[in-house]
């Protein structure tokens, strides 16, 4: 189990880890951490982290998540308009179009799509855009908050009060998505009404449902608070594997430092 440790500019520690799990033959998740090389670009664009969970069969899911991650990074960097939030939304729209174009060019991959959750940290501000049921958590001062909502059938049942939130993670229909990049005519990512602030000591966790469906929020918080980002990745993936690991497991752990 090899943890990725990204080289970063001062102010953050980051580790990431992906595992195929115990019941899948291939890994359809993709992820990325990126920051500009120049100090001027870094001041404007900040840091970017993305996780995507593909769907649509062996090759389709892999290609969809890869295209999402690559396109979001390229558009966020190359077409950045000075507004991190708007740039994330534009990057998601471009990824949606690229996946649909790829599916037309490869008819055997019809139905390919992917979740995508992307965040950027610019100075003390946190921005994000989100489609699907991958998740972004914020851990601060002994409390954990989920910043994204699931675009899923069960997510709608929770929002309408039909299913309790504590039952959603184990619901048999939790994997049915209501929105994904590459699926449907248009895509409307969820975004925060205004950017959040990040503080020294905050931990952000981006993860696919292969993790959160097996590991509870309190367990995420405990692992983050008692470990370095790299050790946190290993502990959480091992926990998901101990519980059967039926899906691919991917997470990025970002800790804000001085």
* Domain containing residue 23: CATH number: 3.60.40.10
- From CA 98, how far away is CA 14, in angstroms rounded? 28
**157 in a domain, yes or no?**
no
108 secondary structure, DSSP code: G
**Residue 179 pLDDT > 90:** no
Overall domain count for the chain: 1
Residue 185 phi/psi, 5-degree rounding, is -75, -50
Cα dihedral 96, 101, 105, 109, rounded to 10, equals 20
**43 in a domain, yes or no?**
yes
On whether the CB atoms of residues 41 and 67 are closer than 8 A, the answer is no
- From CA 178, how far away is CA 190, in angstroms rounded? 13
Over range 181-210, report the average pLDDT: 95
Give whole-number Cα distances, 49 to 120, 161, 222, in Å.
Answer: 6, 32, 22
Over range 239-253, report the average pLDDT: 97
Q: Which domain holds residue 46?
A: 4-147+178-256
**152 in a domain, yes or no?**
no
**Residue 227 pLDDT > 90:** yes
**159 in a domain, yes or no?**
no
**Residue 173 pLDDT > 60:** no
């Amino acid at each position: 189990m090899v943890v990725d440790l990204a080289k970063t500019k001062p102010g953050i520690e980051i580790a990431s880890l992906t595992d195929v799990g115990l019941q899948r033959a291939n890994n359809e998740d993709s992820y990325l951490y990126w920051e500009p090389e120049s100090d001027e670009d870094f001041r404007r664009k900040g840091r970017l982290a993305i996780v995507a969970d593909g769907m649509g069969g062996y090759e389709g899911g892999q290609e969809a998540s890869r295209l999402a991650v690559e396109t979001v990074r390229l558009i966020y960097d190359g077409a950045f308009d000075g507004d991190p939030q708007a740039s994330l939304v534009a990057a998601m729209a471009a990824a949606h179009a690229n996946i649909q174009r790829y599916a037309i060019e490869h008819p055997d991959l019809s139905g390919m799509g992917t979740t995508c959750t992307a965040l950027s940290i610019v100075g003390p501000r946190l921005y994000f855009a989100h489609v699907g049921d991958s998740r972004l958590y914020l851990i601060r001062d002994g409390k954990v908050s989920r910043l994204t909502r699931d675009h899923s059938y069960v997510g709608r049942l929770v929002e309408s009060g039909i299913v309790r939130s504590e039952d959603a993670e184990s619901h048999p229909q939790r994997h049915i998505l209501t929105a994904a990049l590459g699926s449907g005519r248009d895509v409307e990512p969820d975004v925060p009404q205004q950017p959040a602030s990040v503080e020294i000591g905050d931990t952000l966790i981006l993860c696919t449902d292969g993790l959160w469906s097996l590991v509870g929020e309190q367990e995420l918080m405990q692992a983050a608070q008692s470990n370095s980002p790299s050790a946190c990745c290993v502990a959480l993936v091992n926990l998901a594997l101990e519980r059967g690991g039926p899906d691919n497991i991917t997470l990025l752990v970002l800790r804000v430092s001085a």
